[in-house]
Structure 1
Amino acid sequence: MSAVVDVPLLRNGAFVRLWAGTAASGLATWAMPFLLGLAVLDHALTAAQLGLLLAVRIVGFVAAVPVGGVLADRYSRRRVVLWSGLMAAGAAPVAALGLRHSLVVAAVAVAVTGVGQGACRPAFQALAAEVVAGPRRQQANAAITLAVRVTTLLAPGLTALLAVVVSIPWLLLGTGGLWLVAALAPKGGAGVRVGAGGRPAVLSEFVDGVREARRHPWFLAGLGALTAVIATGYSATGVALPLISRDRYHSEAVLAAALTAYTLGALGGALLIGRWRPRMQGWSALAGLSLYGLVPLGLLLPVHPAFIVVTYVVAGFGIELFNVPWFTATQREVDPDRLARVSSLDFLLSYGLAPAGLALIAPAINTFGMSTVLAVCAVVCFAAPAAAALVPSSRGFTTSVQTP
């Protein structure tokens, strides 16, 4: 693999194009469920139909992530981004048409969009390592997450305003334009080694990626902690916050303020970690991840709503103190030929399977009560990162010996 030249990010044209493509894909990924939710308010969909469309999107995403990781290691990462983005872009007008005329057509198109979303994620992650030199990767990952967070902060209001004058199908069509940017903007990087002879089956290659992940105990420990936090704390608060906002505080303002506060906290965390290099990077990252435990703890206690908002700010801040070093360490430590497959394992377990946690939380609340579920989730959010920190290589997110 050819060396990557270390130049400032703003002078690295390949990174700027990658940043634009990643930002466009993030906006398009966020927009679809939001627009489908607006379609319910517009009486174009029922709540049950919305649930079906969101479910098939998740199924497409989860199915495509491991395959996308294998393909991104087998072929050019740039090519995988291109075809994944084109697939999602082509599905957008079909989804818009189906929304007006056929739920089946809409479901197929949304599923295809989920496939495009899932396939491009590990390719984008590996491509970042190809176009940005090691010393600047943490700053690059922070810049990418800043774009995602700003989108999350501003897009709901802008989309709602657009929905006043533009119909939902046309807005869905607009997401196709975003996917075209995601597909066409990034530039190829240094490339990966292509072995001679035939290639093994996709499953065998994915298993090879799992073996690579097992060579890094810090990665398995951190992934276990992240998955536990998302499956319990993130899922529980996603269900509990709207209920508590309505029943305890009798206002939707707490819900809106808390979600906005989380994004603002994440922006602050990304800005800090883009320049801060803690000496014990892994432990600092895991400590940031554990801060999410304050959210279910705050929801459990009869506190002033301002306290709830503060816990979300701190949780958002902490999650980026984890995310950016985590992505950077994965890009640094993992064999470049297997990076996309290891990244796909990360996305598959931590984010792709998050709906399983959401599906179990509501029955658990009905069975054991809100307080019990929130208390258990708070304990898990604190305990899982602490347990991960006990793995020796977790201190610096590295399997090699580091000099001070």
Structure 2
Amino acid sequence: MTSTADSTSRPRVPTWAGRNYTLLTAAAIVTSLGGSGSLIAAAFAVLDAGGDGGEVGLVAAARTVPLVLFLLIGGAVADRLPRHRVMVAANALSCLSQAAFALLVLTGEPRLWQMMLLTALGGTGQAFFSPAAEGMLMSSVDGEQAGRAFAVFRMATQGAALGGAALGGALVAAVGPGWVLAVDAAAFAVAGALRCFLDVGHIAPRAPGGGLLADLRDGWREFTGRPWLWGIVVQFSIANAVLGAAEAVYGPLVARDSLGSAGPWGLALAAFGAGTVTGALLMTRWRPRRLLLAGTLCVFPMALPPAALAVPVSAGVLCVVMFVAGAMVEVFGVSWMTALHQEIPEEKLSRVSAYDWFGSISLMPAAAALAGPAEQAFGRTAALWGCAGLVVLVTAAVLLVPDVRGLTRRTEPAAVRAAPAPEPRSADAERPLGGLG
């Protein structure tokens, strides 16, 4: 029989789940609940206002353009200022923009330029939020349990996205997109309040630098000095662009024309969320030695959703395909975060994260804006098969990078490792890499 003293001496939560980690996870759960439904709501707000696939793409692109423009500045700012303050300010902007979008939809006939403007404001908030949030999360855990901590974080947030997508699709069908957008605005307000209580006392004060441009150059050197880092970012600049177009533009159109309404598409997105929860749960136990090789091999199934939409398959089959894709991409996501945590110095995390985000989404505005014209020129089916083929092509190409195949898991804390000296490079190597510069 276990004694009372023994039972009370055991920690009730893992040692790596400290205050910051808990607050960050709780806030991310709240925004995931609201954000998953708002993606569906924004697309159907455009369609309900009489828009077509091209206009859905323009609204999606309007969010991504400022995200691309301001990400690098956001990363430099997050490495200079307290990251939690940057996160709270960004949440406030996103809250106000979504609240205005909801009010516009609920009270009248929203015009395309109004929806694009408000979506662009939300993208600006995201540009400053994302690098700060990633740096804050990675600095909140340490040691060999970092991978498990990231897996639990992603499992919690993806679980919330699962519920948010299913509920959002149902609410859009039942009461319209305006109320779903209003819920997302409230979620940003709650999350921002939680992030006010984050503690940055454990982070060493930043040494005075040479200004914003010097910080950006320093981050660029850190980024380009690691072939595995820029190689995978180039891969995802293409993969994210075509998958984003398939999800934001073609998915709602296929749902409307072949599946009957927004509800089945919401369920398919929820199935993707369920898959990510399953993948994250797997990564709490599985610790692949070759982090990036295991993760990259699991990106190939991301070609399945656009292929399924191209057929198109039934709602049930689409849900299965989305589940598998979600599980596999989550293996990559946890492996990627673990690699960044162990390889990048803490004081440069937000800048490197900004370059990561910038490269990964740099082609998304063009892809979303061109999705409608591509459908008219080649047909929806051919466009979706093209999306699937590009995912397979770029994922196979990145496996040619030796560091992607060879980078292995280490157990020492990232905070005590010095940044590696940059390797000598020729003048040609200083030029911006294609798609990232």
Matching of residue 139 in structure 1 with residue 148 in structure 2: yes
Matching of residue 15 in structure 1 with residue 21 in structure 2: yes
Deviation at 1:135, TM superposition (A): 1.6
Partner of 1:3 in structure 2? none
Give the 5 Å matches for 1:351-362. Answer: 351=361, 353-362=363-372
1:283-334 CA distance string (max 9 Å, x none): 1100111111223334445766644333222111111011111122112212
Partner of 2:375 in structure 1? 365
Partner of 2:296 in structure 1? 286
Letter in 2 for 1:208: D
Q: 1:119 to 1:398 in 2, by over 3 A?
A: farther
Task: For 1:358 and 1:185, locate their aligned partners in 2 and report how far apart those are by CA, in whole Å.
Answer: 37
Choose from 76, 99, 108 the match for 2:82.
76
Matching of residue 183 in structure 1 with residue 195 in structure 2: yes
Choose from 365, 387, 392 the match for 2:402.
392
Give the 5 Å matches for 1:208-219. Answer: 208-219=218-229
Give the 5 Å matches for 1:130-279. Answer: 130-156=139-165, 158=167, 168=179, 171=183, 174-188=186-200, 190-196=202-208, 199-200=210-211, 202-236=212-246, 238-245=248-255, 255-279=265-289
Q: 1:88 to 1:17 in 2, by over 3 A?
A: same
Structure 2 counterpart SS, 1:14:
helix
Partner of 1:318 in structure 2? 328
Partner of 1:62 in structure 2? 68
What residue ranges of structure 1 are gaps of 5+ in the alignment? 1-6
Return 48-57 or 144-153, whichever deviates more: 48-57
Structure 1 counterpart SS, 2:288:
coil
Choose from 379, 390, 401 the match for 2:389.
379
Structure 2 counterpart SS, 1:277:
coil
Q: 1:25 to 1:63 in 2, by over 3 A?
A: farther
Structure 2 counterpart SS, 1:195:
coil
Task: For 1:370 and 1:323, locate their aligned partners in 2 and report how far apart those are by CA, in whole Å.
Answer: 29
User: Contact (CA 8 Å) 1:142, 1:274: kept in 2 or not?
Assistant: yes
Task: For 1:127 and 1:135, locate their aligned partners in 2 and report how far apart those are by CA, in whole Å.
Answer: 18
Task: For 1:304 and 1:30, locate their aligned partners in 2 and report how far apart those are by CA, in whole Å.
Answer: 22
Task: For 2:240 and 2:177, locate their aligned partners in 1 and report how far apart those are by CA, in whole Å.
Answer: 35
User: Contact (CA 8 Å) 2:399, 2:405: kept in 1 or not?
Assistant: yes
Task: For 1:50 and 1:232, locate their aligned partners in 2 and report how far apart those are by CA, in whole Å.
Answer: 15
User: Contact (CA 8 Å) 1:91, 1:109: kept in 2 or not?
Assistant: yes
Give the 5 Å matches for 1:103-114. Answer: 110-114=119-123
Q: 1:52 to 1:172 in 2, by over 3 A?
A: farther
Deviation at 1:240, TM superposition (A): 3.8
Normalised by the size of structure 1, how large is the TM-score?
0.81
Q: 1:120 to 1:279 in 2, by over 3 A?
A: same
Deviation at 1:226, TM superposition (A): 1.9
User: Contact (CA 8 Å) 2:146, 2:338: kept in 1 or not?
Assistant: yes
1:237-268 CA distance string (max 9 Å, x none): 55444454555666767534432322211111
User: Contact (CA 8 Å) 2:78, 2:132: kept in 1 or not?
Assistant: yes
User: Contact (CA 8 Å) 1:22, 1:124: kept in 2 or not?
Assistant: no
1:26-54 CA distance string (max 9 Å, x none): 4454455555567668x7x6649987765
Q: 1:164 to 1:221 in 2, by over 3 A?
A: same
Q: 1:281 to 1:152 in 2, by over 3 A?
A: same
Normalised by the size of structure 2, how large is the TM-score?
0.75
Identity %, equivalent residues: 29
Letter in 1 for 2:195: A
Letter in 1 for 2:270: T
Task: For 1:37 and 1:298, locate their aligned partners in 2 and report how far apart those are by CA, in whole Å.
Answer: 20
1:124-181 CA distance string (max 9 Å, x none): 1111121101322222222222233222221245456598599748646524523433
Task: For 1:353 and 1:254, locate their aligned partners in 2 and report how far apart those are by CA, in whole Å.
Answer: 28
User: Contact (CA 8 Å) 2:86, 2:132: kept in 1 or not?
Assistant: yes
Aligned length: 392
1:77-129 CA distance string (max 9 Å, x none): 22322332344345565556666599788876654433222211111111112
Q: 1:179 to 1:352 in 2, by over 3 A?
A: farther
Indicate the RMSD between aligned Cα atoms, in angstroms: 3.8
User: Contact (CA 8 Å) 1:85, 1:116: kept in 2 or not?
Assistant: yes
Structure 1 counterpart SS, 2:133:
helix
Structure 1 counterpart SS, 2:298:
helix
What residue ranges of structure 2 are gaps of 5+ in the alignment? 1-12, 413-437
User: Contact (CA 8 Å) 2:309, 2:384: kept in 1 or not?
Assistant: yes
